Homo-oligomer: A and B are copies of this chain.
Amino acid sequence: MSETPAVTVDIARLSTGDADFEARLETLLAWEGVSDADVQARVDEILFAVRSRGDAALIEFTNRFDRLSVSTMGELTLDAERLERAFTDLPEEQREALAHAAERIRLYHERQKPSSWSYVEADGTVLGQQVMPLDRAGIYVPGGKAAYPSSVLMNAIPAHVAGVREIVMVVPTPDGVVNELVLAAAHLAGVDHVFTVGGAQAVAALAYGTESVPRVDKIVGPGNIFVATAKRAVFGQVGIDMIAGPSEILVVSDGGTDPDWLAMDLFSQAEHDEDAQALLVSWDARHLAEVEAAIARLLPTLDRETIVRESLSRRGALIHCRDRDEAVALANRIAPEHLELSVADPEALLPQIRHAGAIFMGRYTAEALGDYCAGPNHVLPTSGTARFSSPLGVYDFQKRSSIIHCSERGAATLGRVASVLARGESLTAHARSAEYRGTPEA
């Protein structure tokens, strides 16, 4: 039997120099949140039922899935007063922390508001774009163990800053358990009312409307596979934010950050759930070994040790690379949801980072600060979708209309060009419509 103390930890160790590096990385990153045919069929059935039978179906599914026995939607509705009470009844420390976070999130998102604009051309033609908020937004908040008040702030505050007229929140209360912190956050974030429903049935109610639940224009917020499948199905009928995968972090370290800090940063990602992904890359091999030792030492001290062990062994990795450039290339290859640049001069790396949901710069910027209260949104593109998606923002709750106001002279010029192009496409009614304006008084 070995006498070595058990400081080993079950986490992949990769090196960019390995022949099989790309294949192993690919396997590690692979994630497909595809719903199987069974889930799809059950979701379709729920969507159809709520669409055709409204409140009655919503109540039935809620009683069945959340183990309740209500008979009216009134019992599944919380008004603004109830939300405010949840807030004022909080312990002072929590109330202040929540209010502080809400205020910072609001300040950051106010900078994000796009404005309407227009310009006048020499002939008097006006072109522009008008920005308007959505009329009504729906916020999905998971119930049970994954009910996060911080997510309520992150989803609802951008909608409120955008000027959305009505913000409707849905949150299931399995076995009738209500999360007061979630309701308090809803109050702070400007939510107008809450329905305590969840799952595909809540998505259906928001997308189609029922007698009690108003139809919304966009549904945002995370959920389980039923919620994700339902959101994908109603996309087009309403807007949706994104289909979120498991949460992930890539930490780039130059070797100068305390290994304990980095270990805890990786843990903070891994503790979300067993599919969460925590990756560390460094060109300093000794440093990687130190972080590994810190992981082994600190793991037993964690409240969620079992989850963390599982996610680190399934999807975590310590990656040794050649140099900074290779670390940057890796970040762009992975396009992580969270990217921590735990280096002395993060500003130098920043312009080279093309794909990341959020970038946490320097040794002091733990991802956890951004998760709660730095200001930027914590709803971020996962599974490499930072290649083409952005953090949730005010822009998700607004839309634009093009403005075209042709002067008589402008229409004459444009009419001639449009006519030639329309005839090239054999769309002669287009051409004639343009020509009417193109030759005034003709």
Name A's B-contacting residues (CB within 8 A).
33, 93-94, 97-98, 100-101, 108, 111-112, 114, 117, 119, 125-127, 129-130, 132, 134-135, 148-150, 181, 217-218, 232, 235-236, 238-239, 242-243, 258, 260-261, 264-265, 267-268, 270-272, 302-304, 308, 339, 346-347, 350, 353-362, 364-377, 380-381, 383, 385-391, 393, 395, 399-408, 410-411, 414-418, 420-422, 424-434, 436-437, 440
A381 cross-chain contacts in B, Cβ below 8 A: 399
Interface residues of A, dominant DSSP: mixed
Assembly CA distance A407 to B364 (angstroms)? 7
Assembly CA distance A261 to B149 (angstroms)? 56
B149 touches A350 (CB 8 A): no
Can you show 14 pairs from A to B with CB atoms below 8 A apart? A101-B421, A134-B388, A135-B354, A181-B425, A268-B430, A271-B427, A360-B404, A365-B405, A369-B406, A371-B418, A371-B430, A372-B422, A374-B414, A387-B399
- Tell me the minimal C-beta distance from A216 to chain B in angstroms: 9
Assembly CA distance A174 to B76 (angstroms)? 56
A217 cross-chain contacts in B, Cβ below 8 A: 387-388
B149 touches A421 (CB 8 A): yes
A267 nearest CB neighbor, chain B only: B429
B433 touches A236 (CB 8 A): no
Assembly CA distance A435 to B375 (angstroms)? 18
Assembly CA distance A362 to B399 (angstroms)? 23
Given A361-B405, A432-B264, A415 contacting B132 (CB threshold 8 A): no
